[in-house]
Structure 1
């Protein structure tokens, strides 16, 4: 954030900062104060209310997804233990260690309305219903959310449009079977709507630099700073 204030003047204007810009320590102390008084969620809700009042956040349909943010597996605290929110997770045939960001996005505008952070091994479907804001009627999600509508925390008034599992989709007869042809078209339509969720992930990782997260120990507390992969080499 300190670098962003310097590189992007618009951030400073938005925060109404003039003259000397805050350094990393000042920003971190401010963030901890927000967390201590549980103000971050209230600020986020206020922003969403303002967007909805201007017609930018429709809330009828939403898209949910999650992304892994890797962390160095060798970093430990004074007790020789890793931070409990960092955990191993397998995606495809590759293992990752770190955290996971779960987000809910407005299907019309692509604006993020809900964010939850968990350890890397927490399943996408586990957090799926927690991302809902109680005003949507339909939710679009990838195959990792299969069964979200059958969980104990599922709402009966929400219709889940979950992608077909890749293995099952490959078996569709897209040339001869008219039903399979329609199913393939439906999957493409759902994929086009789900694409809205990829833009926030690009912003988080490419613009905000959360491709990797590293964590340092100060006494018994942890503080988090983000860095891009290009900085890791140096």
Structure 2
């Protein structure tokens, strides 16, 4: 590896180290730390280091065994985590167990919200509006017929290990005449800052609008935005009325029906709104291009959701660093 390449990697990790308030980030995860109890067994690997390992793993798209190898090989990785010697490098099963524990205790919400709170404390979230969208994430597993899925579901009820290598949480959907099998990652993006304030992860057959029917119960909106935008899939008359009542600009694209085509005025309006709404594609592009997040390889929705959540966290951290530098508020 060239000296220049090594320097770029080290600089990125140094920026992340300085940007994140790690003590605040670790706080909600401490519920899984049993080291202070009388229960026997090997002491748990420090939580701060485990969280930093997750940052490395998903920032560079590493499998658990590959992460272990890279920690043994790269000094910059060990320095970021705080590992002094090769003896302290955890084996890949330790990483796997930690991720399973996060999933079991449903702690990813707390980690994500902690990062959002840190962004808010730096006044990076603008609250001008929220853009919602979803991206299909195809599963690396093969699609299942309804009959086969029913058989496997019944089998899983009796013995989960018998179908451990099959993804029964992924489902099929169709978009523009093409069929997909997998999941959907949903985000609510802050207009202007392009920071993710809300996210959700569902099977691919869940319609986008199912997450935002009724503005007061929206899962992808925060309630403090002055406007919100979305494509035609999010069009809902009740939401439009709710927004007008609350003084919130309703920027969801108009949708044609079988009985009525869009007027020229509606087409012009859609074009103007699309220029604002297109910003929501940037986080998905970052995940696919920079984080190599192009398919769901785990066998359950919960495990695949963890990766999506961490990608949202990484996007926010890297975007936050960029914004601070662009605003001249990054102290060298």
Shorter-chain TM band = 0.7 to 0.9
Cα distance change of structure 1 residues 25 and 190 upon mapping to structure 2, 3 Å threshold: farther
Aligned partner of 1:187 in structure 2 is: 270
TM-score, length-scaled by structure 1: 0.72
TM-score, length-scaled by structure 2: 0.53
Secondary structure in structure 2 of the residue aligned to 1:212: coil
Asked whether the 8 Å contact 2:255–2:262 carries over to 1, the reply is no
Aligned partner of 1:206 in structure 2 is: 289
Match of 1:139 among 199, 215, 228: 228
Asked whether the 8 Å contact 1:143–1:163 carries over to 2, the reply is yes
Asked whether the 8 Å contact 1:84–1:119 carries over to 2, the reply is no
Asked whether the 8 Å contact 1:63–1:141 carries over to 2, the reply is yes
Q: Note the aligned Cα RMSD (angstroms).
A: 3.6
Secondary structure in structure 1 of the residue aligned to 2:167: coil
Distance 1:164 1:47 in 2: 34
Asked whether the 8 Å contact 1:89–1:97 carries over to 2, the reply is yes
Residue-by-residue CA offset, 1:19-65 (whole Å, 9 max, x unaligned): 55666543332222223333221121121111112121122301000
Residue-by-residue CA offset, 1:79-136 (whole Å, 9 max, x unaligned): 4995342000000100100011111100111111111110110001011321112212
Distance 2:168 2:235 in 1: 27
Consecutive unaligned residues in structure 1, runs of 5 or more: 174-179, 227-234
Aligned partner of 2:171 in structure 1 is: 87
Matched, 1:44 2:112: yes
Secondary structure in structure 2 of the residue aligned to 1:78: helix
Distance 1:2 1:64 in 2: 24
Match of 2:194 among 106, 110, 114: 110
Q: CA deviation at 1:15?
A: 5.7
Cα distance change of structure 1 residues 213 and 190 upon mapping to structure 2, 3 Å threshold: same
Q: CA deviation at 1:193?
A: 1.1
Cα distance change of structure 1 residues 48 and 2 upon mapping to structure 2, 3 Å threshold: closer
Match of 1:68 among 111, 127, 136: 136
Cα distance change of structure 1 residues 39 and 125 upon mapping to structure 2, 3 Å threshold: same
Q: CA deviation at 1:3?
A: 7.6
Number of residue pairs aligned between Structure 1 and Structure 2? 209
From the CA coordinates, give the structure whose radius of gyration is larger.
Answer: 2
Distance 1:205 1:193 in 2: 21
Cα distance change of structure 1 residues 127 and 25 upon mapping to structure 2, 3 Å threshold: farther
Asked whether the 8 Å contact 1:85–1:120 carries over to 2, the reply is no
Aligned partner of 1:150 in structure 2 is: 238
Structure of greater relative contact order (alpha carbons < 8 Å, 6+ residues apart): 2
Asked whether the 8 Å contact 2:171–2:203 carries over to 1, the reply is yes
